[in-house]
């Protein structure tokens, strides 16, 4: 007998059945591609409608399942066959074509005759079918149905084709349910494990005492910064940029009271203008980036990218200022700035591109300009204190540290408590008439005399955000002062079996609405794929000032649990007391500032002689000394302290010692009068001023 | 007798007086450098204290005046001597030294002996002194006083020295007063002339119909723009930058409802990333500016300055997007952008550096991304309509005009009524998966399948301000829609002789305070050196929507006079009706938008054939046509319209004709269905869409 036949169509199939001596009844009808259609074909009682399922694994082994149409085909039976259910997929159209030369809606056991490559490894027959006299099957095409006995199919058809077949129970309801539960549990375990892993990746792996590494981790894990492939440039993510926007709004409001107007000057600068103020250009030229090309062409004249905008703005000032009535002229701009620095870049603290504001004013008298310088300095102190909760010391820079081309520079300096390094927070310069003479910014005074304008310039950068992070962050991550936090409060529902989830979510939403009305910035974290523990960690790391937890206890008692990020204080408040949260946030701000101030103060020591000076420096302090105010002396201190600190052991008490010179940070505005006979701590000449020395950022 | 003596000191002087036979009484005392001191020296009755004044003109001719100490030395007497008082100045220290070898406080007639170069041309003696018996003078030094007679001084001292002297009345009180008045009048006339001149320089010298020149003048004279010495870069002055700030605030509020977060990405871009999306880089590379140097050194790898930030942002997107739960990702940034364009630069409209916002989103489905594209397009329509009072047409760009590398581009287009030029207002792009595939921004969907994100990007620039100026400005200058005006209202007091100036100013200030409480942006122009007329012109030119005048009538009747910039409507309102001003400003906004819309609509014509198309184009219109949507046909229209418009006479009806090709502006979203058989206006093939054609900015 020819056991190598193929069945290209219905007629060939029916002919072959006849040839094999298989008894059949045939019904012709419209196509019945789905089981829904199939069962509409009238067949005899005792005839089972057969569901034909073609499975395939990743290695293209095919398995044809013939199941009673009412059988829920489970997964367990695969195991009986030594196969993994997880590997099995229902065949797609093209796979049906590959294995059976057939198509979807036309899968049937007769088509196995067309599997000339022996891809179908087994035909699995539902034990249920053994209970029926006949099976209703399609003879290749679903426009007919034949009724034949299972026995004929097995022994007269499949055996001739040399095909393996197995009769099996396809569903074990209890077992299948058990399996399903088991898989669900496994899935949950996996997710919890992932949660744990996430927590571990999320967690900062070092303590704050390992300061540099800690800082790098905090800024990334709190989602403030993303790294970028141009050295010294960083991406400010929304969590950080929001802080900058708060600073912008706060400072804009302050300078508006001084009638400063915002403006925008071009970023490019011709060499001619840049070179106009000699001291100024000397101070910046090594760091200036130059555009020399566009497209494929060279520019006629290279253009500098602004490192600061004095020389960009002042030619225009000269046009605008004619009479004393055009003064004061006060403008400000918020821009990006480029300084191609060589020192190791640190996000926020020292970057090659950064954001800042720069204010520029011109006045008719020196007094007025000097007053402007100090008013702005006060504003900077407010930005640091009232927004960022960072204390600063107002002072004047020494001659060697002042702004290149200016007359004198005032500064707000802070000291990072962790390492005692000084950090220049913002500077406000008195430019005198240096620039106005170079750029011919002159005016006719009320006595018709020509006079040069008196000028100021002042700037505050994204560096301020870095100082804030360094001051307040802790081992768990970022700690945001409330006034700059994008979310001041995060609400976390604690789902519990005793609590109706929908009711809980409604309560949380209700609380959120109350807080919005209180003008608080609030976020409800109702994600269902993270555990409360994961969320606690996440928002702690991002520094959100207050977490509100609502669990079964809080729900029942109409309370919320308040957890303060800054000091981890936890307490309950009633729903009707939610309006206290504004005050609570203010209290947190004040407490953070107080603590920061005391941390800063602990890093300022006094010294009367060189030995004490170096000893304090090596204990990571800044040092306030009497000083002769001579540049030569300042230079010597810088050199000597650099040399001597290199000679020290690199570790003291297990702590890595900082090396590097001490330089002057500032001469604080608030300082005692120096008496005749009080001497410079270093050179022994008559002292003139107290000055603060330290290593610096 | 030796008439060539010098008198180096007191002793020499006294000796000489003796020698000349001059009778004198001498008093020795402490130095008496001022007249105040001089009169304390006791001298005889009938002795006059002499005030010695040394004048000098520009040619170093000196004149010594001896006046009675009570005489107010006038100016008229100079005329009697044939000299111009305007040329005379009191000698400074070094000039006294030059002429008399003496010093301030030591000027006296004896020192003329030391004028060996004959610089002192005349000695003018106060007629008053003739009434006294003696004069009190210092013998060279002011530590002594001698009393001698005027006669001796004239005839025994000055005559010997061969010195001219003239006795004159130094003050003619009436005449002097008259002169003073006369000069004051002249001064006032001069100031008024200057005022007039100012008005003329202030005034725009051309009508709006001379559009290009008009635009250049408006932007400068309204103090929106200052020119800058780098071609294609301009200074945005506070009056313009304020508008940009309003746009920022308005748009930030809109996108916040879509949960878009603000952020900042670096400006620099490595060639590697820029080149990643091929079509994209082809679209931009000719305009990219390259930084190749810093300080004196070359960069290892040149850095591009962002022409747009797709290729800057998307590598970071790829890091942030892992799961479908990380989507949608929506960020926006407000930055400067550099595109080194070759077309002629026009402030606001086409500049090499400009300001914009660029939003970038990534979504898990195409539908969601497409929805985002259109939501943003609606926001852009709101910015134009609700803020700038500029109507726009929403549409889709043709394939050849879409964003390089994107899938499709939607746009808000406007048409400048003055010349019928199309102006692309802002675009919102559907990027499809083109960039996500290049940058591998993929995620695991909820069925654990990897999928590429669907992206959008969208931008709005400072160009929008240019469109606003072009739409609303008139022959007098800028006209600002109220919602973007830095000053919405300017108050101008009209000083009048019937009105107490202080009371008027108080009333104006009171009104200002009321308006501030109404949250209106108001400015009180109380400058006393400009006339009301000058101020009217100034603020009209700067486009302030409402001027409030308060003159005698308004003061008395507790009214203000309202003058609307937009339509020059003038009317009175009572002080208690000031709170109507908010509504009045809203009405002005709406009326401006209505007028602008009708102006825009008048520039849209339909055409069914080439002849009508060109005719409409040459009448400065845009043309809506049926179109086959074939790129080849679009290209032909562009080429042909360019050639044919060059062939036209350059003037029709005295108006300079625009030349240049018509290109597709957009396929408007709102358009009729095209029927089978309706043909493309140009090629005659079956039409598919209506498209708007025009010359464009």
Token digits of residue A404: 């290149």
- DSSP string covering B220-248: HHTTSEEE-SSTT-EEE-HHHHHHHHHHH
Q: Tell me if B397 sits within 8 A of B408, measured CB to CB.
A: yes
Give the range among A170-184, A305-319, A385-399, A618-632 with minimum mean pLDDT.
A170-184
pLDDT at A210 over 80: yes
- CB crowding B597-628: b at 16 or more within 10 Å, else e: eebbeebbbebeebeebbebbbebbbbbbbbb
- Identify the pLDDT of residue B655: 56
pLDDT at B384 over 60: yes
pLDDT at A367 over 60: yes
Contact assignment for B294 to A340 by CB distance below 8 Å: yes
Contact assignment for A294 to B289 by CB distance below 8 Å: yes
Place of tokens 């059988």: A71
The answer to whether the pTM exceeds 0.80 is no
Task: Give CA–CA dist A359/A261, Å, rounded.
Answer: 9
Token digits of residue A72: 């829920």
- Identify the pLDDT of residue A235: 98
pLDDT tens sequence across A106-125: 899 999 999 988 999 999 99
Q: Tell me if B651 sits within 8 A of B627, measured CB to CB.
A: no
3-state secondary structure of B40: coil
Q: Tell me if B328 sits within 8 A of B322, measured CB to CB.
A: no
pLDDT tens sequence across A569-594: 999 999 999 999 999 999 999 999 99
pLDDT at B654 over 60: no
Residue of B227, B294, B461 to mutate, testing the A interface (most A Cβ within 10 Å of its Cβ): B294
Q: Tell me if B464 sits within 8 A of B384, measured CB to CB.
A: yes
**Segment A387-410 mean pLDDT:** 96
Contact assignment for A286 to B295 by CB distance below 8 Å: yes
Residue in chain A lying closest to B331 (CA): A238
Task: Give CA–CA dist B201/A59, Å, rounded.
Answer: 87
Task: Give CA–CA dist A264/A535, Å, rounded.
Answer: 42
Token digits of residue B477: 């200058």
pLDDT at A174 over 80: no
A267 vs B270, B294, B353: nearest CB: B353
Percent of chain B with pLDDT strictly greater than 70: 95
- Identify the pLDDT of residue B453: 97
- Identify the pLDDT of residue A271: 87
pLDDT tens sequence across B82-134: 888 888 989 988 899 989 998 888 899 999 999 988 999 999 999 999 999 99
Tell me how crowded residue B186 is: count the other CB atoms within 10 A of its CB: 10
Task: Give CA–CA dist B562/A269, Å, rounded.
Answer: 45
Question: Which residues in chain A have their CB less than 8 angstroms from residue B291's CB?
Answer: 289-292, 305
- Identify the pLDDT of residue A688: 97
Tell me how crowded residue B644 is: count the other CB atoms within 10 A of its CB: 17
Contact assignment for A268 to B233 by CB distance below 8 Å: yes
Residue in chain A lying closest to B244 (CA): A263
Q: Residue A113 contacts by C-beta under 8 Å, 6 or more apart in sequence?
A: A5, A6, A7, A16, A161
- Identify the pLDDT of residue B528: 84
3-state secondary structure of A488: coil
Quick check: ipTM above 0.85?
no
pLDDT tens sequence across B278-315: 888 888 889 999 999 999 899 989 999 999 999 999 99
Question: Which residues in chain B have their CB less than 8 angstroms from residue A272's CB?
Answer: 229
Contact assignment for B294 to A245 by CB distance below 8 Å: no
Question: Which residues in chain A have their CB less than 8 angstroms from residue B353's CB?
Answer: 266-268
């Amino acid at each position: 007998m020819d056991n190598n036949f193929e069945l290209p169509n219905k007629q060939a199939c029916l002919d072959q059945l006849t040839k094999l001596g298989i008894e059949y009844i045939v019904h012709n009808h419209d196509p019945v591609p789905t089981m829904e259609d199939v069962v509409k074909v009238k067949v005899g009682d005792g005839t089972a409608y057969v569901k034909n399922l073609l499975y395939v694994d990743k290695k293209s082994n095919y398995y044809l399942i013939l199941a009673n149409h009412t059988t829920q085909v489970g997964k367990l039976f695969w195991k009986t066959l030594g196969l993994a259910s997880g590997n099995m997929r229902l065949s797609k159209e093209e796979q049906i074509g590959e294995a059976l030369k057939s198509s979807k809606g036309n899968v049937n056991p007769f088509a196995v005759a067309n599997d000339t490559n022996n891809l179908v490894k087994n035909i699995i027959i539902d034990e249920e079918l053994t209970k029926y006299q006949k099976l209703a099957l399609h003879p290749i095409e679903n426009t007919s149905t034949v009724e034949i006995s299972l026995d004929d199919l097995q022994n007269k058809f499949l055996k001739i084709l040399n095909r393996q077949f197995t009769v099996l129970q396809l569903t074990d309801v209890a077992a299948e349910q058990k399996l399903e539960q088991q898989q669900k549990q496994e899935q949950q375990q996996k997710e919890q494990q992932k949660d744990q892993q996430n927590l571990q990746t999320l967690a900062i792996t070092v303590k704050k005492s390992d300061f540099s590494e800690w800082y790098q981790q905090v800024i990334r894990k709190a989602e403030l910064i993303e790294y970028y492939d141009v050295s010294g440039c960083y991406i400010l993510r929304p969590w950080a940029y929001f802080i900058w926007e708060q600073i912008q709004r706060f400072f804009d409001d302050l300078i508006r009271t001084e009638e400063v107007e915002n403006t925008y000057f071009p970023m490019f600068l011709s060499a001619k203008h840049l070179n106009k103020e000699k001291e100024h250009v000397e101070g910046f030229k090594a760091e200036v980036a130059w555009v020399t090309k566009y497209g494929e062409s060279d520019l006629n004249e290279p253009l500098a990218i602004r490192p600061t905008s004095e020389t960009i703005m002042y030619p225009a000032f000269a046009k605008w200022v004619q009479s004393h009535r055009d003064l004061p002229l006060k403008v400000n701009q918020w821009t990006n700035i480029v300084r191609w620095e060589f020192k190791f870049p640190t996000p926020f603290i020292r970057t090659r591109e950064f954001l800042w504001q720069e204010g520029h004013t011109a006045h008719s008298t020196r007094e007025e300009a000097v007053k402007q310088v100090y008013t702005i300095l006060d504003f900077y102190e407010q930005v640091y204190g009232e927004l960022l909760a960072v204390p600063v010391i107002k002072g004047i820079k020494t001659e060697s540290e002042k702004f290149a081309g200016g007359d004198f520079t005032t500064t707000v300096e802070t000291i990072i408590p962790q390492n005692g390094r000084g950090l220049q927070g913002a500077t406000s310069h008195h430019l005198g008439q240096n620039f106005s003479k170079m750029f011919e910014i002159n005016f006719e005074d009320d006595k018709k005399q020509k006079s040069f304008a008196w000028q100021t310039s002042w700037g505050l950068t994204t560096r301020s955000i870095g100082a804030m992070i360094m001051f307040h962050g802790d081992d768990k991550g970022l700690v945001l002062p409330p006034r700059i936090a994008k979310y001041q409060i995060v609400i976390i529902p604690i789902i519990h079996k005793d609590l109706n989830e929908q009711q809980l979510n409604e309560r949380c939403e209700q609380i959120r609405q109350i807080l919005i009305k209180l003008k608080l910035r609030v976020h409800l974290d109702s994600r269902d794929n993270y555990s409360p523990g994961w969320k606690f960690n996440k928002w702690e790391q991002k520094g959100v000032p207050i977490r509100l937890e609502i669990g079964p206890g809080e729900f029942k008692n109409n309370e919320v649990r308040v957890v303060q990020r800054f000091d981890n204080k936890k307490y309950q408040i009633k729903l009707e007391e939610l309006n206290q949260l504004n005050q609570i946030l203010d209290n947190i701000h004040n407490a953070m500032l107080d603590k920061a101030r005391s941390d800063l103060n602990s890093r300022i020591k006094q010294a009367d002689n060189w030995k004490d000076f170096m000893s304090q420096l090596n204990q990571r302090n800044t040092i306030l000394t009497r000083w002769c105010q001579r540049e030569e002396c300042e230079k010597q201190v810088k050199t000597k302290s650099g040399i001597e600190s290199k000679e020290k052991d690199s570790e003291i008490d297990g702590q890595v010692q900082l090396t590097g010179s001490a330089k002057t940070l500032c001469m604080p505005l608030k300082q005692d009068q120096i008496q005749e006979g009080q001497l410079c701590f270093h050179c022994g000449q008559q002292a003139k001023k107290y000055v603060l020395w330290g290593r610096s950022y």
